[in-house]
Amino acid sequence: MIHGNKLRKFGRERNQRNALMRSLAVSLVLQEKITTTEPKAKSLRPVVEKLITAGKKGGVASRRLLVSKVGERASKKLIDVIGPKYKERNGGYLRITKLRNRLSDSSKMAQIEFV
């Protein structure tokens, strides 16, 4: 049995994986909808939902946390636009929609967007 094997590695080292998730999170926050592979979308969802929860709090500590995670532009949008939008909602901020397979390599594709 393989227990605790939940992390998708995407064939990358840890710092490359973190950079990938960070860039996907920034793109999703700024554009509000992105198309990527299904495993990347599934791994991105908990990362961004935690950022939105921090953006809902909106204090100085949350602002500093968000700036360290996603940078100035994305953190400003998380706190000023997205946080107040989901003030009443308790989780479930993102929707993953499966798309057709990519033609070049037949990878499963998905679209991730805000609800």
Q: What is the CATH number of the domain that holds 109?
A: 3.90.1030.10
Kind of pairing between the strands at 33-37 and 109-114: antiparallel
Q: Is residue 22 part of a domain?
A: no
| Confidence check: pLDDT of 93 > 90 | yes
Q: Is residue 23 part of a domain?
A: no
Q: Is residue 103 part of a domain?
A: yes
Going by C-alpha positions, the residue among 86, 95, 15 that lies closest to residue 51 is: 86
Q: Which domain holds residue 66?
A: 33-114
Total domains in the chain come to 1
Structure tokens at 5: 């094997």
Which pLDDT belongs to residue 5?
80
Q: pLDDT by residue (tens digit) across 5-33?
A: 888 999 999 999 999 999 999 999 999 99
Q: Compute how many other C-beta atoms are within 10 angstroms of the C-beta atom of residue 115.
A: 9
Structure tokens at 102: 């990519």
- 3-class SS at 39? helix
| Confidence check: pLDDT of 1 > 90 | no
Structure tokens at 24: 């996907």
